[in-house]
């Protein structure tokens, strides 16, 4: 008889068994304590119910590691294929109406306390004792088991691969919710130090956020003065080999200035102190050291893959916001623009997630003076396109500063604007966080383990 895995409905009990018929699966599940109910049914991991007539065929087509059979008398009424709220979706399919499956899922969830150990229930009753460490672990195991049984909460990329630990977006949302609910109820002594909280948040995903300073004295100051002078030159006049060397050697000084809490330096001040950082080549070099990877190469490759997948996914969408950008993309492709999908990637993604597009980019008429419109833009990194986001007339604005003087394409501008959040220690705006988190995890492969 072929070996297989028997799981309980909440995935809290997992056993190994051997069975050649469906009735044997149910019998072994009862004997091993997986499910003792007389009304037990057998399901695959996607909650497809298995029938006796097809059991042998199912077994034959499943690899050994995929032979997981859930035995339970209750099952969720629906299983989502997308995770719209977490910002990470599987873009492989859509329903006939053009709406994502995530919008059709009933997310109503109630914890079944019947599966809790008696010691845990005693602690949860009014006036009950404090939870012991073991009771707390049992409580967490039961709750998480039921949540995963209700619907998959994992963060997955467009090709199905796991992003980070798989649950980072869920953990972050739960933590934020607890923080919101307890705001104003804590004593002053319970409020964390602002400096330590800042360092915990802005260094997320960075491998070299604040290195130990290894330069001091006149030689170090001379390098800083040289770099400041080079920053005043045009791109063609810069002593590129020496500037690249000194920028790498003074990376720790750059981070120390940017990370300063007292005083906090705004973008304008950083630009005056480290002007070469506001040339794309040196900016990418800094971001590479900060994140420990070739961010430009990785994001270009991932964008090419995801832009095509997103366009295919939204082909039949009937959302007004999506259609607006999709039609523009198709028109641009008909004109021979091979980069149309990549240029439309950010607008389509933001429209899909219903994020505030104004927090991510703006399109002004061609010939508009950006300096006269700075007061209209958010303080966070924003792409400004002149004429159309399909033209190579895009700039990045942050705290009313034009980060790079040379115009670029929309895809490149999106890349630079996103990295500015990491380089300058900025938090995602709430109304655009879903789109930015998708870029973080899927496009830039920033999925720290903790």
Residue 448: what pLDDT? 63
State the Rg of the chain over Cα: 27
Interatomic CA distance for residues 250 and 256, integer angstroms: 10
* Residues 162 and 146 placed together within one structural domain of the fold: no
Q: Which domain holds residue 62?
A: 3-72
* Residues 433 and 303 placed together within one structural domain of the fold: yes
* Residues 303 and 366 placed together within one structural domain of the fold: yes
Residue-wise burial string across 78-109, b where 16 or more C-beta atoms lie within 10 A, e elsewhere: ebbbbbbbbbbbbbeebeeeeebbbeebeeee
Q: Please check whether residue 207 lies inside any domain of the structure.
A: no
Predicted model pTM: 0.60
* Residues 47 and 137 placed together within one structural domain of the fold: no
- Give the pLDDT band of residue 297 (cuts 50, 70, 90): very high
Q: Which residue has the higher pLDDT, 267 or 138?
A: 267
Residue 285: what pLDDT? 94
Interatomic CA distance for residues 385 and 209, integer angstroms: 31
Ranges 60-74, 232-246, 367-381: which has the least confidence: 60-74
* Residues 235 and 348 placed together within one structural domain of the fold: no
Is pLDDT above 90 for 310?
Answer: yes
* Residues 96 and 146 placed together within one structural domain of the fold: no
Residue 363: what pLDDT? 95
* Residues 338 and 397 placed together within one structural domain of the fold: yes
* Residues 385 and 418 placed together within one structural domain of the fold: yes
Is pLDDT above 80 for 109?
Answer: no
Interatomic CA distance for residues 209 and 22, integer angstroms: 55
Residue 38: what pLDDT? 84
Neighbour count for residue 334 (Cβ, 10 Å): 9
SS3 content of the chain, % helix, strand, coil (to 5): 50, 10, 40
Helix-helix angle 345-353:410-423, to 10 degrees: 60
- Give the pLDDT band of residue 82 (cuts 50, 70, 90): very low
Range from 19-23, 138-142, 216-220, 323-327 that averages highest in pLDDT:
323-327
Helix-helix angle 280-291:251-258, to 10 degrees: 90
Average pLDDT, integer, range 351-365? 94
| 274 Cβ neighbours under 8 A, 6+ residues apart | 227, 228, 231, 254, 257
Strand partners, 49: 43
Q: Please check whether residue 198 lies inside any domain of the structure.
A: no
Q: Please check whether residue 255 lies inside any domain of the structure.
A: yes
Average pLDDT, integer, range 249-270? 89
Ranges 62-76, 152-166, 201-215, 336-350: which has the least confidence: 152-166
Rounded to a whole number of angstroms, the distance between the first and last alpha carbons of the chain is 42
- Give the pLDDT band of residue 10 (cuts 50, 70, 90): confident
Q: Which residue has the higher pLDDT, 85 or 24?
A: 24
Ranges 148-162, 166-180, 239-253: which has the least confidence: 148-162
* Residues 351 and 392 placed together within one structural domain of the fold: yes
* Residues 347 and 366 placed together within one structural domain of the fold: yes
Total domains in the fold of the chain: 5
Strand partners, 156: 162
Q: Please check whether residue 137 lies inside any domain of the structure.
A: yes
Is pLDDT above 60 for 150?
Answer: no
Q: Which residue has the higher pLDDT, 244 or 63?
A: 244
Q: Please check whether residue 407 lies inside any domain of the structure.
A: yes
pLDDT tens digits along 416-444: 999 999 999 898 999 999 999 999 989 99
Q: Please check whether residue 194 lies inside any domain of the structure.
A: no
Helix-helix angle 295-313:345-353, to 10 degrees: 60
Is pLDDT above 80 for 148?
Answer: no
Q: Please answer whether residues 24 and 59 qualify as being in contact, where contact means their C-beta atoms are separated by less than 8 angstroms.
A: no
* Residues 57 and 123 placed together within one structural domain of the fold: no
Residue 199: what pLDDT? 41
Neighbour count for residue 148 (Cβ, 10 Å): 15
SS3 for 107? coil
Range from 192-196, 236-240, 330-334 that averages highest in pLDDT:
330-334
Q: Please check whether residue 196 lies inside any domain of the structure.
A: no
Neighbour count for residue 282 (Cβ, 10 Å): 23
Q: Please check whether residue 359 lies inside any domain of the structure.
A: yes
* Residues 167 and 266 placed together within one structural domain of the fold: no
């Amino acid at each position: 008889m072929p070996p297989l895995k028997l799981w309980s409905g909440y995935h809290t009990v997992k056993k190994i068994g051997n069975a050649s018929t469906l009735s044997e699966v149910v019998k072994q599940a009862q004997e091993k304590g997986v499910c003792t109910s007389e009304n037990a049914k057998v399901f695959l991991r996607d909650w497809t119910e298995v029938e006796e007539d097809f059991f042998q065929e199912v077994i034959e087509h499943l690899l050994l590691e995929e032979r997981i059979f859930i035995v339970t008398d209750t099952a969720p009424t629906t299983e989502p294929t997308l995770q719209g709220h977490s910002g990470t979706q599987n873009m492989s399919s859509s329903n006939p109406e053009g709406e994502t499956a995530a919008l059709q899922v009933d997310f109503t969830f109630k914890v079944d306390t019947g599966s809790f150990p008696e010691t845990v229930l005693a602690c949860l009753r009014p006036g009950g004792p404090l939870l012991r460490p073991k009771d707390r672990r049992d409580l967490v195991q039961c709750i998480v088991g039921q949540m995963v049984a209700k619907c998959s909460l994992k963060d997955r990329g467009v090709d199905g691969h796991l992003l980070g630990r798989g649950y980072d977006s869920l953990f972050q949302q739960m933590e934020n919710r607890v923080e919101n609910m307890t705001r104003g109820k804590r004593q002053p002594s319970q409020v964390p130090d602002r400096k330590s909280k800042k360092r915990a948040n802005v260094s997320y995903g960075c491998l070299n956020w604040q290195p130990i300073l290894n330069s001091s004295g006149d030689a170090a100051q001379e390098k800083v003065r040289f770099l400041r002078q080079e920053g005043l030159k045009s791109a063609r006049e810069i002593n590129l080999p020496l500037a690249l060397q000194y920028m790498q050697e003074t990376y720790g000084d750059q981070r120390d200035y940017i990370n300063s809490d007292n005083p906090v330096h705004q973008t304008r001040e950083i630009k005056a102190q480290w002007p070469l950082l506001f040339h794309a080549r040196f900016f990418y070099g800094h971001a590479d050291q900060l994140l420990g990877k070739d961010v430009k190469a990785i994001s270009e490759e991932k964008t090419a893959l995801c832009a095509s997948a997103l366009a295919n996914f939204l082909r039949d969408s009937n959302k007004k916001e999506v259609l607006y950008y999709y039609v523009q993309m198709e028109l641009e492709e008909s004109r021979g623009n091979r980069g149309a999908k990549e240029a439309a990637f950010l607008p389509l993604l933001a429209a899909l997630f219903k994020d505030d597009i104004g927090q991510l980019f703006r399109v002004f008429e061609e010939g508009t003076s950006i300096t006269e419109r700075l007061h209209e833009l958010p303080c966070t990194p924003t792409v400004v396109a002149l004429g159309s986001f399909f033209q190579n007339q895009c700039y990045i604005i942050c705290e009313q500063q034009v980060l790079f003087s040379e115009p670029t394409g929309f895809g490149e501008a999106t890349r630079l604007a996103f990295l500015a959040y990491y380089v300058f220690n900025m938090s995602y705006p709430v109304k655009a966080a879903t789109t930015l988190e998708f870029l973080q995890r899927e496009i830039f492969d920033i999925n720290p383990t903790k």
